[in-house]
Amino acid sequence: MLTGYTRVSTSEQNLDLKRDGLERAGCEKIYDHVCSGRTIGRSFPHVVGVMNDLQQRGVSLKVLTGDTDTTTTIGTLVFVTLAEFECDLIHERTMVGLAAARTRGRASGRPCVMTRKKLKGAMAMMINRGNAAAEFDVSLSILYAYVDAKSKPCARANELLARRSTKRDAAAQA
């Protein structure tokens, strides 16, 4: 059974033309909706969410005034492709935003828990790795990120040792 849905923004608008199109398409039941502002299609992520919800309920979407028809394989492919495209755009915008923040000196991610003092002490204690991590209040994975199995500094350690002391380093050493 085909069910139709038609919507207008104000009560002054007429639903007749839309209802006629749905009846011609074979809709046996038609829902009319008069609502200002709230609609499917204002943002693509919202459409994707609604479509996923409908799909889980076994409902397909066919837009009469466009080429969207998730009852067909091609229609589903087009919709999924658009959804992936939207996800890629969001990812790309996020990466650009993070890069812009980095150029302004803002760092993202977790704050650095390793200090120069901790690193130098940990390198000296690497014979007993578990004790070194506990002694300097860092996890074993953090310790391995800075010091290799031969007690030599890794790339992250070299960066930390090369940079100038910060107020945070001074506070951590106190």
Tokens of 12: 């002054």
CA-wise closest residue to 51 among 65, 35, 71? 71
Beta strands in the chain (DSSP E): 3-8, 29-34
Q: In whole angstroms, what is the distance from residue 130 CA to residue 136 CA?
A: 10
9 labelled catalytic: yes
Query: Which one from 9, 43, 139, 165 is the annotated catalytic residue?
Result: 9
Angle between helices 44-56 and 73-103 (to 10 degrees): 140
- Residue 174 in 3-state DSSP? coil
| Catalytic annotation, residues | 9
